Amino acid sequence: MKPFNIGIIGLGARGVVLLSSLIKIPELNVAAVCDNDLGRVERYRELCREKGLSEPFSTVDYRELLARDLDAVIVSTTWNTHVPIAVAAMRAGKHVGIEVGGALCEQDCWELVKTSEETGRFCMMLENCCYGDNELTVFNMARQGLFGEIVHAAGGYEHDLREQIALGGEMRHGRMVNFLHRNGDLYPTHQLGPIAKLLNINRGNRILSVVSVASKARGVHHWIEKNRPDDSELMRADWKEGDVVTSILRCAGGETIVLTHACTLPRPYSRDGRIQGTRGLWLEERDAVFVEDDAPQTVSNPDGEHHWSPLSDYKAEYRHPLWVEYDRKGIAKEGHNDMDYLVLCAFADSLEHGEPPIDVYDTATWMAVTYLSEQSVAMGGTPVPMPDFTSGRWLNRAPERRSKYALTEICREQFE
Ligand SMILES: NC(=O)c1ccc[n+]([C@@H]2O[C@H](COP(=O)([O-])OP(=O)(O)OC[C@H]3O[C@@H](n4cnc5c(N)ncnc54)[C@H](O)[C@@H]3O)[C@@H](O)[C@H]2O)c1
């Protein structure tokens, strides 16, 4: 595979973290970078020097970056700027890897879809959680029928981000303005991405509707009272985002998906995954599974109760071959960089072969949950319809391109 020249737009926390994975992927050469904050551009250049990398072209104006001869760009700016930048990039002939986040409105989702269709450039959401070790193990178990027919799935983004949200002004972080003025599932894709792939959303199945209900918003104010009581402006702020937003998605195949967004209350991080079918389930919070056929003792055990087995008991047999291969390569792992590395490998593979495993229809559908949940919350939990961004093609689309990184099936022949 030739090295592809890519640009990165958005050099905040995420843009910087991505670099440590990108330098392990020889097929991706960071040839240009941009942030509209000059300080962040300079920090990135300094980082390249520290790591002994040649300095990429850099600019504070993304249009200058898009004018260059690049194969693709990664958009890792704040949520509310993703769509205009991604659309401009596709119009400039670049494939796009767009960082995770929700959409502001339906028009933005359609614009992504129509621009990708018109230009022939792909727009792949870089949803790293689709490549998580546990997510892919559970996917493998589900595809091999251990959980039976899948009936229900759930997941959450439950992350205590009170400081980042409350101090978004001084930290220049984009979450703050959204938590001040919006109320819905602002960050649905970490949990929804793997579930949507498992349920074949946009290939034989689709999400029909979204219902969302939000709790009151107290968490950020409470944090400010405790940590910044003298900041009168922050003390007066009227945060609109409910502390816990719960959404129920109904699918054409009859499945339900429950998503939880909770970033403003104290708690340890969780994505709270659950995949449940007619023969068993996985529950991430317990790091455990129950598989009826593997547990005959549950029928006759003295207390008559079902018992959990650790997911690790199933890893030897059901780990996804992508992770088996990745471990064999012995690439040093840091934080959740492993998922970042794999999603970026999938991006590179898509540049080489076309047809990314997360395409523009997936990207638009997953992002749409955000504005739909805001609408539903605003109407007291009324169901709102999910647009069909495939325009009917979900009914009989061709199977996904076969690759190591495929997310609707496991292409075993791709691995040695
Ligand atoms: N996949 C993951 O695990 C993961 C983790 C963290 C963040 N993210 C995502 O990455 C993205 C960035 O998050 P972050 O935490 O780095 O945010 P951030 O606010 O720290 O950084 C965003 C950067 O974009 C820049 N920017 C904004 N508008 C711009 C424009 N028009 N042109 C050029 N630069 C612009 C800002 O100056 C800032 O430096 C978000 O979509 C976030 O959801 C993903």
Question: Residue 294: what pLDDT?
Answer: 84
Q: Which residues pair with 32 in a beta bridge?
A: 7, 57
Question: How far, in Å, is the centroid of ligand 1 from the Cα of 43?
Answer: 15
Q: Is the pLDDT of residue 264 over 80?
A: yes
Chain-wide mean pLDDT for the chain?
95
- The reported pLDDT for the residue numbered 332 is 67
- State the architecture of 4-128 in CATH terms: 3-Layer(aba) Sandwich (3.40)
- C-alpha of residue 86 to centroid of ligand 1, in Å: 13
Q: What is the mean pLDDT of residues 70-79?
A: 97
Confidence category of residue 239, pLDDT binned at 50, 70, 90 = very high
- For 271-379, where are the alpha helices, taking DSSP H only? 297-300, 312-318, 321-329, 337-353, 360-378
Q: Which amino acid is at 358?
A: I
Report the pLDDT value the prediction gives residue 335, as an integer from 0 to 100: 55
Give the pLDDT confidence score for residue 95 in this predicted structure.
Answer: 98
Residue 115 in this model has a pLDDT that exceeds 80: yes
pLDDT at 305: 75
List strand residue ranges (DSSP E) for 115-164, in order.
Answer: 123-125, 150-158
The per-residue pLDDT for 303 is 64
Looking at 182-215, list the stretches that DSSP marks H as alpha helix, in order from N- to C-terminal side.
189-198
> What pLDDT does 293 receive?
84
Residue 236: band (very low, low, confident or very high) from pLDDT cuts 50, 70, 90: very high
Residue 254 pLDDT more than 90?
yes
Residues 6+ apart with CB under 8 A from 217: 183, 239, 240, 241, 242, 243, 264
Q: Looking at residue 262, what is its pLDDT?
A: 98
Q: With a 6 A CB cut-off, is 343 part of the ligand 1 pocket?
A: no
Domain boundaries, the chain: 4-128, 130-321+360-414
Over the stretch 349-379, which tens digit does the pLDDT of each residue have? 999 999 999 999 999 999 999 999 999 999 9
Q: Which amino acid is at 35?
A: D
Distance 100 CA to ligand 1 centre (A): 9
User: What integer pLDDT is reported at residue 97 of this predicted model?
Assistant: 98
Residue 174 C-alpha to ligand 1 middle, in angstroms? 7
CB 155 within 8 A of CB 259: yes
Confidence at residue 337, expressed as pLDDT on a 0 to 100 scale: 75
The predicted structure's pLDDT at residue 284 = 96
Question: If DSSP codes are grouped into helix, strand and coil, which group holds residue 183?
Answer: coil
Q: Is the pLDDT of residue 299 over 60?
A: no
Over its C-alpha atoms, the chain yields an Rg (Å, rounded) of 22
For residue 307, is pLDDT > 90? Answer: no
Nearest CA to ligand 1 atom 38: 12
Q: Is 263 left (phi over 0), alpha (psi -120 to 50) or beta?
A: alpha
- Measured N-to-C along each axis, helices 133-143 and 321-329 cross at an angle, to the nearest 10 degrees, of 140
- Token couple for 394: 């979900």
Confirm if 154 and 247 have CB atoms less than 8 A apart.
no
| CB of 34 closer than 8 Å to CB of 8 | yes
pLDDT in tens, 152-178: 999 999 999 999 999 988 877 789 999
Among the listed residues 333, 396, 375, 13, the one whose alpha carbon sits nearest the alpha carbon of residue 172: 13
Q: Is a pLDDT exceeding 80 seen at residue 308?
A: yes
Superfamily assignment of 130-321+360-414 in CATH? Dihydrodipicolinate Reductase; domain 2 (3.30.360.10)
Tokens of 340: 């970042």
Q: Is the CB of 37 under 6 A from ligand 1?
A: yes
Report the percentage of the chain scoring pLDDT > 70.
Answer: 97
Q: Identify the pLDDT of residue 334.
A: 62
Neighbours of 203 (CB within 10 A): 21
What local confidence, expressed as pLDDT, does residue 124 receive?
Answer: 98
